Amino acid sequence: MQALLDLLTVHHVGNKANGESLLLTNKVLSPGEAIKSLLQTYFLSPFKNEQYYNLWHEDHQEQNEVFGSVSAIFDDPDTFVEQSKKLAERLYEQSTHPKIKDGEFYVALFRDCHIEGEVVDAIGLFKSENKDTYLKVYANGNQMAVESDDGFNINKLDKGCMIFNHEREDGYVVSVVDNTNRGADALYWIDGFLGLRLRSDDYSHTSHTMNMCKKFISEELPQSFEVSKADQADMLNRSLSYFKEEETFSLDDFNQKVMLQPEVMQTFNNYCDKFSEEYSVEIPDEFNVSDQAVKKEARGMKSVVKLDKNFHIYIHGDRARIKRGVDEETGLRYYQLLFESES
């Protein structure tokens, strides 16, 4: 990601529940060009994917406090320090889980950010929590000396988000990073502090639809029809191939090429409505397929048949070359694999 760092403040945010303090600063930092370049690398290098969010509130996005603060900065950069302090105070109020670590909270204003063909300003919010120990070796007269110090690795940003001044009416376009927390304590950054929901775009549509297909094939299909694990794997393969090969998703076309049978199509259509309601996501009948989303979601769509604890069959191609039966002597079920050559 390319952008120019224009304004920067740093505050220290402790864990409120643990009785730690909040330290607010009143001035903009003015680092030299070398430090500014390092900070830009530290802040921006983790943002590499195309999954975007919007600032959101259940009543209206203007009720989202982060939305209010960044809007004030975009409208009048002279309010930058005041609003950065409000953002730090909000983060402090959300830092109540016992596992949340104290750390430095950076608020930055960036210029010349490129997003979806436009050049806009952006507000960056970052938090550093985990320090590394460094060794410093230097000459001291005719001798060499070694000292240690603690600091932040510029290649290991803990938490961050970039809020682009783009699509304000929808809650801005937001990219987010959280490299430290994966459990309930992670909710305070994305949900509690920022108040985000996935942006409704081709990436999210592709991601949601691929997840829905996987759940339908693995959970709903065997409840509604008599289907073998090999048949499920075959359908999963057809689903993944569809997303890899087609530029656009069409529900009718997907049904014809993947679901095949009318009764399965109808069950899948009903499941689409059920999935959308249960997970509060939008599944349009048509959208452009996102290659980035396909690449990410494909990792979880492996066509594997697990046989007890003895064998795994990876199915990649022609389902007709796999036959299923029951051994008369033992009563055990078996798969027969037909092939031309082995390697």
pLDDT band at 224 (very low <50, low <70, confident <90, very high): confident
Bridge partners (DSSP) of residue 311 are: 307
* pLDDT value of position 149: 78
- Inform me whether the pLDDT recorded for 200 exceeds 70: yes
Amino acid (one-letter) located at 189 = W
Residue 334 or 313, more confident: 334
pLDDT the model gives residue 186: 63
Q: pLDDT tens digits, residue range 254-273?
A: 999 999 999 999 999 999 99
Tokens 């075959």 label which residue?
234
The rounded distance, in Å, linking the Cα atoms of 230 and 278 is 28
Confidence of residue 287 (pLDDT cuts 50, 70, 90): very high
pLDDT digits (tens, 9 = 90+) for 113-170: 999 889 999 999 999 988 887 788 888 888 888 888 777 777 788 999 999 999 999 9
CA 100, distance to chain mean position in Å, is: 20
The CA angle 127-9-54, to the nearest 5 degrees, is: 55
Q: Is the pLDDT of residue 81 over 60?
A: yes
Max CA separation in the chain (angstroms): 88
Its pTM stands at 0.79
Least confident of 72-81, 133-142, 306-315: 306-315
With a pLDDT cut of 90, the percent of the chain lying above it is: 55
Please list the residues that pair with 158 across neighbouring strands: none
Q: What is the pLDDT of residue 317?
A: 64
Q: Is the pLDDT of residue 85 over 60?
A: yes
Amino acid identity at 103: G
pLDDT at 206: 95
Q: What is the pLDDT of residue 316?
A: 66
pLDDT in tens, 16-51: 988 999 999 999 999 899 999 999 999 999 998 778
Q: Rounded distance, CA 171 to CA 160, Å?
A: 17
pLDDT tens column, 227-240: 877 788 888 889 99
Q: How does residue 338 score in pLDDT terms, banded at 50, 70 and 90?
A: confident
- pLDDT score recorded for residue 184: 55
For residue 275, name the pLDDT band (cuts at 50, 70, 90). very high
Mean pLDDT in the chain? 88
Partners of 196 in beta bridges: 55
Comparing 137 with 208, the larger pLDDT belongs to 208
Domain boundaries, the chain: 4-198, 202-337
Identity of the residue numbered 43: F
Minimal CA–CA distance to 102: which of 149, 158, 64?
158
With residues binned 3-state (H G I as helix, E B as strand, rest as coil), the percentages for the chain, rounded to 5, are 40, 30, 30
pLDDT of 315: 66
